[in-house]
Amino acid sequence: MVDGRDVLEDWAHAFYYDVEPEFPQVGLETGSPRLIKRYMAGKPRPWRPEDWPWLVVEGTGIMNDNGLFPCNTMILGLPGETEDDIVSTMELVEDLRGYGCWLFPLLFVPMGRSMLERERFAYLKEAFGPLHWELLATCFDHDLTFSRRALGMLARYVKNPMARKLATFFVSMGMEAVEAVSDRLIRDPYGLIVQASRINLFSASLRDLVSLTFRRLRLRVQAVQAR
């Protein structure tokens, strides 16, 4: 991406990404040069593993300039991961603040025919420590911020004006509901998971939707009063 800026510009112009943006999936994996060097040394080529954080930020900026807004997947719980590695990833997430991208942290899954195929799956209660939850909360904050920017771009794909307004309203309401409980990812993550697991979106009644609507209004009033 960084080495082929001119090619990407021609490609984006040919496919009108400035009119209809695309949201490609990109494997960010980790912000730790040490883990990149250990498991994915070929990923940054022709640059070095030590250049990986810079390449991610620079490449994201180039994509944004050409109508591409990546969905970045990240791997948490890689074998041999240390607190320093998690901190490096958190620093990369901070460096991406203001850029147009989503961050999706995923637990490590050993892939067949790779150097990690014999490793154990990363289980939540075994792999996750306080720094992981802090990283997850930081990613949530980043994603919510960008989602508000991206909502207008995504809503354009809904052609019916009324349906577009309804979709925008309910997605905004969902984001505010997530934001209202995001601090619990650090304070009480497992309690939040248990609570979320009991929600059945497919059996939501009109009363539930009205309740969510009023909750959104209350949050807006509280935000105005806090200014």
Task: Tell me: do 97 and 124 sit in the same domain.
Answer: yes
Task: Tell me: do 5 and 44 sit in the same domain.
Answer: yes
CA–CA gap between residue 190 and residue 209 (Å, rounded): 26
What is the SS3 assignment for 199? coil
CA–CA gap between residue 67 and residue 8 (Å, rounded): 10
The predicted pLDDT at position 94 comes to 98
| 105 bridge partner residues | 74
Task: Tell me: do 144 and 171 sit in the same domain.
Answer: no
Task: Tell me: do 98 and 179 sit in the same domain.
Answer: no
pLDDT tens for 139-190 read: 999 999 999 999 988 888 888 888 888 888 888 877 887 787 777 888 888 8
Low-confidence ranges of the chain (pLDDT < 50): none
CATH number, domain containing residue 77:
3.30.750.200
The predicted pLDDT at position 222 comes to 66
Q: Which of residues 140, 156, 172 is at a domain's end?
A: 156
Task: Tell me: do 135 and 35 sit in the same domain.
Answer: yes
Task: Tell me: do 103 and 195 sit in the same domain.
Answer: no
- State which residues form the domain around 202: 158-227
Under 8 Å between Cβ of 127 and 77 = yes
The predicted pLDDT at position 75 comes to 97
